[in-house]
Amino acid sequence: MQEIIAFWLTEQGLPTAYSSLGVSIIGLVLILLFCSISFYIAKNYVLLFIHKLTIASKNTWDDLLFDHQVFSRISLLVPLVLLLLLTPLLVNTDSLLATVLIVFAKIGLCFQIARSISSVLNVINSLYRQTASERYLPLNSTLQVIKLVVYLVASILAVSLVLDRSPLYLLSGLGALTAVLILVFQDTIKGLVASIQISANKMVAPGDWIELPKYGADGDVIEIGLNTVKVKNFDNTVTTVPTYALTSGSFKNWRGMLNSGGRRIKRAIVIDVRSIKFYSQEQLEALKSVQLISNYLAEKQAEIKKETAQAISKAPLTAATINARQLTNIGTFRAYISAYLKQHRNVHHEMTCMVRQLPATEVGLPLELYFFSNDQSWVNYEAIQADIFDHLYAAAPLFDLRVFQHPSGHDWHSSKVSADA
């Protein structure tokens, strides 16, 4: 081909001294022309045809090939292959231009093949995310290690082509750089080991709600990478946490709560101790109209009447009334809360539900409610919790109980008005 071009240039009257330069220029122009045409055809016709086939197909994995630009990156191999094949035909192989073009083509092929392999690995990762029932396999971290190795091999091949040395010559020098490599890739090594531990112990999976106060992370895990774990917080911000931090430190995983079907509510109502007292017979009769505790009152009164020789009357607090078993407003309120929770439609009745009395403190006597809502949605959960406690705070005065709070300006003003009156 070079002889044909040189003969044609001679026929056109070009001096023989410049024929070699003319052959190189025309050869370069032809190479660039053929490469451009091949890339245009591959990009606008072949890719379009393949895209139509994938759209017509019912499979989803072939759509991922386009989403991750696998065919687009493979199409870039065509002009590079043509450049490698046409250069010896159209350009003098002993010239600097031919050497530069061949080295450029080989380096381009190395990195473009690496990019194509990287795209295929991304397709595998996406396909795994879509189809896997359990996501504990550290596939993303493993694929990132493979990508790192692929690009490392491509870089070694590229350097060996530039230096015109065997890749084994470069690899032989890596032994002396082992300590440096370990220092450079220490986070990568720690992340890989942590990913394997996370997978083996099933500690975290994408989609889990985790909480790491140290890093300000409180939300859903969206990606477990080689070096970092991405957590999407509830305010839609994304926090990146080192992968090894999940194995070297403590964190809270809410997966168990999400799988249980309920969400825990644990809150106390603090009662003013000075409002606790025994019930009189008239007060008990008035409370029998409350349907939730009518059976409770009847059972307790029958039990007390059977056990106690002396009947409860409206007598003042004396040794006789203390020795006799009596109903208190705090105990009755506790029974009312328990009955109210057990009949509430938004309480998970197959999980723990109890009302317990905690030790009294300087701010009063806490009645702690421990139960689970049957709706895990954050908004609905807060609404259920608020509705229940709104009702109980409003019901406490009906049992002659006062909810404790520190005196406010209104309390001092009311006391002053009462004193002046």
Q: Rounded to 5 degrees, what angle do the CA atoms 246, 252, 256 make?
A: 115
For the domain spanning 135-144+163-260, the CATH number is 2.30.30.60
| Dist CA 41 CA 28 (whole Å) | 20
Angle at 347 between CA 202 and CA 259, to 5 degrees: 15
Reported as a single tens digit per residue, the pLDDT across 200-222 is: 777 888 888 889 888 889 989 88
Quickly count: other Cβ atoms within 10 Å of residue 333's Cβ. 23
Task: For residue 170, give Cα distances in angstroms to 104, 158, 180.
Answer: 19, 11, 15
Helix 2-11 / helix 77-90 crossing angle, nearest 10 deg: 60
Chain-centre distance of CA 167, in angstroms?
A: 41
Upper half-sphere CA count for residue 352 (Cβ side, 13 Å): 10
Q: List pLDDT tens digits, range 240-256.
A: 998 888 888 888 888 88
pLDDT score of 81 more than 70: yes
Q: Return all residues near 244 (Cβ < 8 A) that are at least 6 apart.
A: 187, 190, 191, 193, 194
Contact 105, 83 (CB under 8 A): yes
The answer to whether the CB of 100 falls within 8 A of the CB of 161 is no
Note whether 232 and 345 are within 8 A (CB).
no
- Of 131, 196, 229, give the one whose Cα is nearest residue 220: 229
Is this prediction's pTM over 0.75?
no
197 and 216 Cβ atoms separated by less than 8 Å? no
User: Distance (Å, rounded) from C-alpha 12 to C-alpha 295?
Assistant: 117
What are the tokens at 416?
Answer: 């002053």
**Residues 102/143, Cβ–Cβ less than 8 Å:** no
Contact 22, 9 (CB under 8 A): yes
Query: In 3D, which of 368, 381, 343 has the Cα closest to residue 264?
Result: 381
Q: Tell me how far apart the alpha carbons of residues 270 and 364 are, in angstroms, rounded to a whole number.
A: 6
- What are the tens digits of pLDDT across the range 291-315? 888 888 888 888 887 776 554 454 5
More confident residue, 307 or 50: 50
pLDDT tens-digit profile of 172-195? 766 666 777 777 777 778 877 888
- For all residues of the chain together, what is the average pLDDT? 81
Type of residue at 329: N
Angle at 359 between CA 358 and CA 362, to 5 degrees: 120
For the chain, domain boundaries: 2-131, 135-144+163-260, 263-420
**What are the helix (H) ranges across 312-377?**
319-323, 329-343
Q: Which range among 123-132, 264-273, 382-391 shows the weakest confidence by mean pLDDT?
A: 123-132
Average pLDDT of the residues in 319-324: 56
Classified as helix, coil or strand, 157 is: helix
Which amino acid is present at 110?
C
